[in-house]
A and B are shown apart, each in its own frame.
Chain A
Amino acid sequence: GQQVMQIPQYQHVQEGEDFTTYCNSSTTLSNIQWYKQRPGGHPVFLIQLVKSGEVKKQKRLTFQFGEAKKNSSLHITATQTTDVGTYFCAAHQTDSWGKLQFGAGTQVVVTP
């Protein structure tokens, strides 16, 4: 069945640097969502990508959906301490869209 893999699991970043987290699936996805969970908090929706090759930006965050709709990435430029948290990708199963699968998450630590 559909599996959503996310790498890296941990990311230590110096403040001001860029980093990217990746989400990969063995099957074609109908859509992909990204969430952010601050330490001690709950996941908060960031964005959703639906179209092949789609690119969306939110200030310093750039989200991309692969041409084959099997992978996605989140790129953060000029990392700030407010970017600390765990970033998850999530995808609805195509044959049973009520099922939502999350990647294991990328935990981001920012060093001032």
Chain B
Amino acid sequence: EAQVTQNPRYLITVTGKKLTVTCSQNMNHEYMSWYRQDPGLGLRQIYYSMNVEVTDKGDVPEGYKVSRKEKRNFPLILESPSPNQTSLYFCASSLVGTGGNQPQHFGDGTRLSIL
């Protein structure tokens, strides 16, 4: 089954304790992206990757890191989490088409609480 898998689905942790949210897709998609969703703000893009070893900042990259060593995986790293990073996080992937006109396939989300 074609899917985007995120882990963990839920995490409660404390300020400053490094954490990684994994994202994996089995559709051979070149493009992958991370979003955070907060009430009233919709989805805001954190980082995206056009292909292996190619990553770039979205609209809200501060406090996050990513890596794309393999095509299928795109982990999101919070080196020193803070309470303002408490949010619902989504990973998404898509093919790369002309002008970027490809639908995003989303994972089920990861709810992070930073105390």
Residue-by-residue, is B55-93 near A (CB-CB < 8 Å gives 1, otherwise 0)?
010110000000000000000000000000000001010
Residue-by-residue, is A38-76 near B (CB-CB < 8 Å gives 1, otherwise 0)?
000111110010100000000000000000000000000
CA distance A78 to B16 in the complex (A): 50
In the bound complex, residues from chain B placing their C-beta under 8 Å from that of A90 are: 43, 104
Q: Are A104 and B40 CB-contacts (below 8 A) given A42-B107, A42-B108, A43-B106? A: yes
Residue-by-residue, is B29-42 near A (CB-CB < 8 Å gives 1, otherwise 0)?
00101010000111
- Tell me whether B109 and A42 are in contact (CB under 8 A): yes
Q: Which of B97-115 contact A (CB under 8 A)?
A: 99-101, 103-109
B22 at interface by CB-CB < 8 Å? no
In the bound complex, residues from chain B placing their C-beta under 8 Å from that of A100 are: 33, 45, 48, 100, 104
**How many residues on the B side are at the interface (Cβ–Cβ under 8 A)?**
26
**How many residues on the A side are at the interface (Cβ–Cβ under 8 A)?**
26
A9 at interface by CB-CB < 8 Å? yes
Residue from B44, B50, B99, B104 whose CB has the most chain A CB atoms within 10 Å: B104
A21 at interface by CB-CB < 8 Å? no
- Tell me whether B99 and A97 are in contact (CB under 8 A): yes
In the bound complex, residues from chain A placing their C-beta under 8 Å from that of B44 are: 102
In the bound complex, residues from chain A placing their C-beta under 8 Å from that of B59 are: 99, 101
In the bound complex, residues from chain B placing their C-beta under 8 Å from that of A9 are: 40
CA distance A96 to B31 in the complex (A): 13
CA distance A98 to B99 in the complex (A): 9
- Tell me whether B42 and A31 are in contact (CB under 8 A): no
Name B residues whose Cβ lies closer than 8 Å to a Cβ of A. 31, 33, 35, 40-45, 48, 50, 56, 58-59, 90, 92, 99-101, 103-109
Name A residues whose Cβ lies closer than 8 Å to a Cβ of B. 6, 9, 30-31, 33, 35, 41-45, 48, 50, 88, 90, 92, 96-105
> Can you show 6 pairs from A to B with CB atoms below 8 A apart?
A31-B99, A42-B90, A42-B107, A42-B108, A102-B42, A103-B42
Extra contacts, 10 of them, besides A90-B43, A92-B101 (Cβ < 8 A), are: A30-B101, A41-B108, A42-B106, A42-B108, A43-B92, A98-B56, A100-B33, A100-B100, A102-B43, A102-B45
